[in-house]
Structure 1
Amino acid sequence: MSSAVAANETVAEVKTGGGGRRKLILLAVPLLLAVIGAGLWFSGILPRLLGGHHEAPAAATKAAELVAPVYTDVPEIITNLDTGGRRQSYVKLKARLELAKAGDQAVIAAAMPRILDVFQTYLREMHPDELRGSSGTYRLREEMIARANLVAQPARIVDILFEELLVQ
């Protein structure tokens, strides 16, 4: 009889203890499926499997391709800065222009005298303190890009890379 009592206790334990495990499985399985589905959706696999993924237009594909940058050297510029009558201060600048496309090189070469004039005129207006620090260099870069783009239209200058910037 003792084996029958032990069997009844085991069956009772399974019935009461198994309910908690069953609830955990019933909650965990849908949650796990939702996480897997979200991962597949945001990775782009599920939309492609469901036929909702459309190919990108050819123009967007061409724009996404990596294009080697095109550079043009700017002749070295040495000019004085506006010191307001104090001791003279000079700036020496050596830079490269990054162009939007290779076809712009001829336009930039033809406009280089005007670009140099615009750069020198702008630099002569600046005070030495305005060129100090990274914020001064950033401002100089942005102003030079804007001025060069005005002079060199229809060519487009993307960036100016300073090879040497010396304030004395």
Structure 2
Amino acid sequence: MGHEPPSRPTEYVPVAFVPLETLIVSLGSEASGQHLIVTAELEVDPDYAAEVTTLSPRVLDVLNSYLRVVALEELSEPTSLIRMRAQMLRRIQVVTGAGRVRDLLITQFVVN
């Protein structure tokens, strides 16, 4: 029976979080007055936290533009949040520049 060498602990990678304002987006005419409420934080390289914070209005604009075209039926699909999160992160990374935003953490995602 072979023994594996003890695994080395993963190296700590410094991280910072930039909170985004809550977005409230109308879901279009077929949603009869329903809204999508999204709250999120950006996981960023600490060296870029201030720069990404400064770019928050652009980030919110690109997220607002994307979420406004999402159909209500799309939100009911089981994999919708995973797919939408990836789409939103890609757009955020385009706005903020390469290497600045590592991840998008959704802390609230509610259809109201």
Q: TM-score, normalised by structure 2?
A: 0.83
Distance 1:136 1:83 in 2: 20
Aligned match of 1:76 in 10, 17, 22? 22
Q: Which amino acid aligns with 2:79?
A: S
Q: Structure 2: 5+ residue runs without aligned partners?
A: none
Asked if residue 67 in structure 1 is aligned to residue 13 in structure 2, the reply is: yes
Distance 2:99 2:27 in 1: 29
Partner of 2:42: 97
State the identity as a percent: 26
* Secondary structure of 1:119's aligned partner: helix
User: Looking at CA atoms only, which structure, 1 or 2, has the larger radius of gyration?
Assistant: 1
* Secondary structure of 2:109's aligned partner: strand
Partner of 2:94: 150
Distance 2:50 2:80 in 1: 31
Q: Structure 1: 5+ residue runs without aligned partners?
A: 1-34, 45-63
Aligned residues: 109
Structure 1 residues 134 and 68: CA distance shift in structure 2, 3 A: farther
Partner of 2:67: 123
Q: Which portions of structure 1, spanning 4 or more consecutive aligned residues, are displaced by more than 4 angstroms? A: none
Q: Which structure carries more strand by proportion?
A: 2
| CA-CA distance at 1:93 after TM superposition | 0.8
* Secondary structure of 1:165's aligned partner: strand
Q: TM-score, normalised by structure 1?
A: 0.58
Asked if residue 160 in structure 1 is aligned to residue 109 in structure 2, the reply is: no
Q: Which structure carries more helix by proportion?
A: 1
Residues 19 and 42 of structure 2 are in contact (CA less than 8 Å); yes or no, is this contact kept in structure 1? yes
Residues 83 and 127 of structure 1 are in contact (CA less than 8 Å); yes or no, is this contact kept in structure 2? no
